[in-house]
């Protein structure tokens, strides 16, 4: 009550507060709020661009690493000639030839693996055209980057335009047997992470008007392999309420683009 009484006495002494003072204080407060919001937006934008650039550079650096091997079909991997057959990781990721869960002949419960030059290489293709291997380092870093993208997207740091811009690095992970291999090498929890960001990237491309032919191919592959659908629309990473509309839109997109891919064929 003492503060109110003092304020009333002040008004009596000064004959009230001038309207110009009220307007001046209001404009000053408004200008302060606007300035704070602008500075906060600039700082947030700079931090977001820095994090996204770090992810993009990480993908580029990983894909350029010569820690994959491409050899003649049905060839036994040996250390003496492996250096001549090393290729960049992107060579086994940008190829639509399906990965295979190649298992040990003496123990079918284990995936085939060899240790060459202190690197563990997993056998991911063995057909009549080629025999390919990829380092476990590449698989670990790939899953690590995908988990980072998932966290940044869910926290609102990465936007849909960022996912749409990175579709060439992200969407191929969901096709050509890679989901099945990651699930066999790790487990469904890691495959669910890849499925989640691929699903959100496909939706982001649709919202950002990205109509790449590869997205049509992915939609065709997805439709033709119902066994992988659970990673994209039923995975443990999906938030039932917040991602409900995205999952529904994803189903519509892949159905529509798969039909267009078939018509083009």
Specify whether 114 is located in the same domain as 218: no
Summarize pLDDT for 148-186 with one digit per residue, the tens: 999 999 998 899 999 999 999 999 999 999 999 999 999
Same domain, 24 and 81: no
Domain residues for the domain of 22 are 2-34
Q: What's the pLDDT at 80?
A: 67
- Of 49-53, 74-78, 96-100, 152-156, give the lowest mean pLDDT range: 74-78
The tally of domains found in the chain comes to 3
Summarize pLDDT for 63-95 with one digit per residue, the tens. 999 999 888 776 677 776 677 788 999 988 877
Same domain, 185 and 210: yes
Q: Has residue 42 been placed in a domain?
A: no
The DSSP H or E segment spanning 247 is: helix 244-264
120 shares a domain with 214: no
Q: What percent of the chain has pLDDT over 70?
A: 79
Interval 228-255 mean pLDDT: 95
pTM metric for this prediction: 0.81
At residue 25, the pLDDT reads 58
As given in the structure block, the two tokens for residue 211 are 């109509």
* Residue with more model confidence, 84 or 120: 120
């Amino acid at each position: 009550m003492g503060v109110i009484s003092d304020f009333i006495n002040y008004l009596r002494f000064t004959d009230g507060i001038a309207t110009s003072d009220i307007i001046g204080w209001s404009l000053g407060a408004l200008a302060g709020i606007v300035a704070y919001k602008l500075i906060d937006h600039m700082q947030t934008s700079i931090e977001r661009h820095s994090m996204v650039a770090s992810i993009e550079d990480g993908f580029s650096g990983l894909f350029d690493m010569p820690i994959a091997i491409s050899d003649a079909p049905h060839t036994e991997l040996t250390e003496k000639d492996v250096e001549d057959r090393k290729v960049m990781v992107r060579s086994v990721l940008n190829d639509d030839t399906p990965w295979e869960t190649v298992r040990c002949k003496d123990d079918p419960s284990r995936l085939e693996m060899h240790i060459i030059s202190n690197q563990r290489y997993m056998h991911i293709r063995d057909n009549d055209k080629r025999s390919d291997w990829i380092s476990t380092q590449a698989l670990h870093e790939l899953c690590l980057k995908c988990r980072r993208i998932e966290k940044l997207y869910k926290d609102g740091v990465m936007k849909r335009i960022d996912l749409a811009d990175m579709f060439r690095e992200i969407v191929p992970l969901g096709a050509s047997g890679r989901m099945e291999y990651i699930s066999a090498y790790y487990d469904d929890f890691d495959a669910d992470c890849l499925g989640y960001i691929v699903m959100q990237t496909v939706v982001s491309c649709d919202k950002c008007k990205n109509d790449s032919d590869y997205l049509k191919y992915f939609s065709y592959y997805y439709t033709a392999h119902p066994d992988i659908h659970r990673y994209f629309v039923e995975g443990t990473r999906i938030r039932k309420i917040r991602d409900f509309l995205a999952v529904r839109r994803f189903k519509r997109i892949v159905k529509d683009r798969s039909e267009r891919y078939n018509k083009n064929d």
